[in-house]
Structure 1
Amino acid sequence: MADDTQYELHQILENAAFAPLDDRAFLRITGPDATRWLNGMVTNSIQSLAPGEGNYNFLLNAQGRIQGDGTIYRDGDEFLLETSTSQVESIQQHLDRFIIMDDVELSPAYTEKQGLLLIGAKAPAILAASELPALDPLHLSHAKSLLLLAPAAGSIPRYELWDDPASIALLRENLSNAGAVEVSSASLEQLRLIEATPLFSQDIRDRDLPQETAQAHALHFNKGCYLGQEIVERIRSRGQVHRTFTAFRLIGDLPTLPAPIEANGKPVGELTSAALVPLPEGPTLLALGYIRREALDTHQPLTYAGGTAIPRSPGTS
């Protein structure tokens, strides 16, 4: 298994790979008031999106706590919200509560389609060779019955391709013939740790504040009012939050999550994700979590039950 994931991770980092997308779901937002209403429900600027463009968003409650996340694309005069299957129902319920006098409708979309992720350093070249439309990050395109998405979820290029099951089966064959290798969810999880991309419900919880997650690309400070904005602006005016999302390299045992982090015997944070990653320099324990800023800024030695946690920059070991 270790040799398999090492090979798969190498294909992602140096070549191209593909994997089924079975953890995504879509909501379509329509109606004459959709732009104004949706802009007031999420943390990024929806009204500034051109057709085909998208951006990453948080959905907050009135206390500024994160209730969900997703990427929103403008699809003509409508909007398409892509999120994980585990939270699509709760997001729809959250949004439904705030449709009062607004002419807005929410409905599931693309439930009949299957998804395929194309990812890797050479993924753009394979996409171009397939004669599919070129996509910039955070972009949407329709090609016949095929829906193409280019989420900006990390440093490695990636594309989502959605179509009927028969077409996706043929596409898998074509990608394989073009040199792409099918990879496992374990390898994609290892890449997520390398890139330090937080996962909602694991690294981002409904008690977390937007600025604590270090996902500045989810926030727009000149877009106008939205649910939870008062808290976000209060934090901004204060200058910083007390803790921040951080990537770590671990020396020791694989922790049981969530794992408290201590400095000088005092709790200063927690690890929320961790895995053994087969990096070129050797198997390395990588983790994600939160740390209090004073412990991070003063470079205090950090420990967890079973080892030592060393802060690192995303994309490095």
Structure 2
Amino acid sequence: MASPFLGLPGAVDIAETGVPAHYGNPLAEQRALAEGRAIVDLSDRAVLTVTGPDRLSWLNSLTSQALTGLQPGESSETLLLDVTGRVEHAARIVEDGETVWLLVDRPEAEGLRGWLDSMRFMLRVEVADRTDEYATIGTLGEPDLPAAVSNGVPLVWHDPWHAVTPGGHQYARGEHPGADWSWSERLVPRDALAGIVDRVAAGEFAAAGTLAADALRIAAWRPRFSTEVDERTIPHELDWLRTAVHLTKGCYRGQETVAKVHNLGHPPRRLVMLHLDGSEGVHPAQGAVVSLDGKEVGAVTSSALHYELGPIALAVVKRGTDAAATLTVDADGTAVAAAQEVVVPPEAGAEADVPRLPRLGAVTRKPRG
């Protein structure tokens, strides 16, 4: 379904998602968004709801985040993992006291709803797709744009990425660029989109495309399910333990892998931000091969031209990749040099202080004396 935002001057839908990627000047749009003066049309995304008195305890038992104590108006995010700890779904959560609202990327909606429905058993929960009723608008800061209200609660998801949530853990070291990340996503009635477009046209606030939002997200090291996740991803590789995983909440599917890798092992891959050499004027696509000394070590997951940092990307590389090395990205046949900014360090994990035991069969000699 094409958004009414595509009727604004300069609107371009590059990927045919139904929403504008930009309005003719992505860098200026980034600046306006970063300064809290712009909104982003995310009406291509989906909205699911879970109602019923067992909704929070049920979701808590299925997913990675502690949700039973969620209060009306509070935001969270959670992951649904498979039995081996790999990420299958991600959901942004708003609780209103009667309903849990799940904000998800559109390709996820059908599969996630179907899986949740299959897990209801005799519990008092109902799952519904509300995408036809509600659209999502993204912002940095708090523009004068009312959100839909349910049970007296404005339906605004505030991204927790600005800090480590209770029960979480951060692998990234030093000052984190996400500390200033004030992203939020508000639900509005879908039939109100045309009126919001009229307010943009009247100059009440600016519109920024999805390219602007992605560039700022990449600079904040913020993973997204539809870009950073593949069939092998575990949360540790993306530093997603910061906000989407509670390490001590108890049992859920995939919890054994989460605990084992965090306490005893190391994630096999790690997220990096790349500062790309822009002299060639080329832009690597998602999936572009990342190599070191001619050997493939990973792939680009997201890339953008940032209004201050220049060309940047997120990539997932093998854990053992030299963190100080300059990497090479294959941008459609052009080799582009890429300096790493470490997000997840190679030594991430092995947090438990477990003493080394003697090797089986080894002879322990008593000291002479």
Same topology, TM > 0.5: yes
The 5-angstrom pairing of residues 56-205 of structure 1 reads 56-109=77-130, 111-117=132-138, 119-120=139-140, 123-124=141-142, 126-127=143-144, 142=150, 147-152=155-160, 155-165=180-190, 167-174=192-199, 179-205=204-230
1:245 aligns with 2:274: no
Q: Displacement, 1:3?
A: 6.9
C-alpha contact (below 8 Å) 1:62/1:227 kept by paired residues: yes
- The 1:267/1:29 distance shift into structure 2, 3 A limit, reads same
Q: What secondary structure is seen at the aligned counterpart in 1 of 2:225? A: coil
- Give structure 1 stretches of 5+ with no counterpart: 134-139
Q: 1:236 aligns with which of 262, 266, 270?
A: 262
C-alpha contact (below 8 Å) 1:68/1:206 kept by paired residues: no
Question: Aligned partners of 2:134, 2:46: CA distance in 1, in Å?
Answer: 10
1:255 aligns with 2:281: no
1:279 aligns with 2:307: yes
1:40 aligns with 2:61: yes
Question: Aligned partners of 1:94, 1:160: CA distance in 2, in Å?
Answer: 24
Q: Displacement, 1:46?
A: 0.7
Instruction: Find the structure with the greater CA-based Rg.
Output: 2
- The aligned residue for residue 268 of structure 1 is 297
- The aligned residue for residue 137 of structure 1 is none
Q: What secondary structure is seen at the aligned counterpart in 2 of 1:39? A: helix
1:9 aligns with 2:34: no
Deviation digits for residues 172-212 of structure 1 (CA, Å, limit 9, x no counterpart)? 54566675211222222222222232232321123211111
Question: Aligned partners of 2:325, 2:185: CA distance in 1, in Å?
Answer: 41
Letter of the structure 2 residue corresponding to residue 109 of structure 1: R
- The 1:141/1:255 distance shift into structure 2, 3 A limit, reads same
Question: Aligned partners of 1:173, 1:223: CA distance in 2, in Å?
Answer: 46
- The 1:159/1:13 distance shift into structure 2, 3 A limit, reads same
- The 1:240/1:300 distance shift into structure 2, 3 A limit, reads same
- The aligned residue for residue 310 of structure 1 is 339
Question: Aligned partners of 1:294, 1:160: CA distance in 2, in Å?
Answer: 36
Question: Aligned partners of 2:284, 2:184: CA distance in 1, in Å?
Answer: 32
C-alpha contact (below 8 Å) 1:26/1:83 kept by paired residues: yes
Q: What secondary structure is seen at the aligned counterpart in 2 of 1:241? A: coil
C-alpha contact (below 8 Å) 1:13/1:156 kept by paired residues: no
Deviation digits for residues 56-85 of structure 1 (CA, Å, limit 9, x no counterpart)? 111111111111101122221332211111
Q: Displacement, 1:109?
A: 2.7
Q: Displacement, 1:263?
A: 2.0
Question: Aligned partners of 1:308, 1:71: CA distance in 2, in Å?
Answer: 35
- The 1:161/1:175 distance shift into structure 2, 3 A limit, reads farther
- The aligned residue for residue 53 of structure 1 is 74
Q: Which moved more, 1:188-197 or 1:240-249?
A: 188-197
- The 1:175/1:161 distance shift into structure 2, 3 A limit, reads farther
1:22 aligns with 2:16: no
Deviation digits for residues 258-293 of structure 1 (CA, Å, limit 9, x no counterpart)? 122222333322212223x15247xx2211111223
Q: What secondary structure is seen at the aligned counterpart in 1 of 2:251? A: coil
Q: Displacement, 1:146?
A: 6.3
The TM-score with structure 1 as length reference comes to 0.82
- The 1:145/1:233 distance shift into structure 2, 3 A limit, reads closer
Question: Aligned partners of 1:53, 1:250: CA distance in 2, in Å?
Answer: 38
- Give structure 2 stretches of 5+ with no counterpart: 1-21, 162-177, 344-369
C-alpha contact (below 8 Å) 2:290/2:300 kept by paired residues: yes
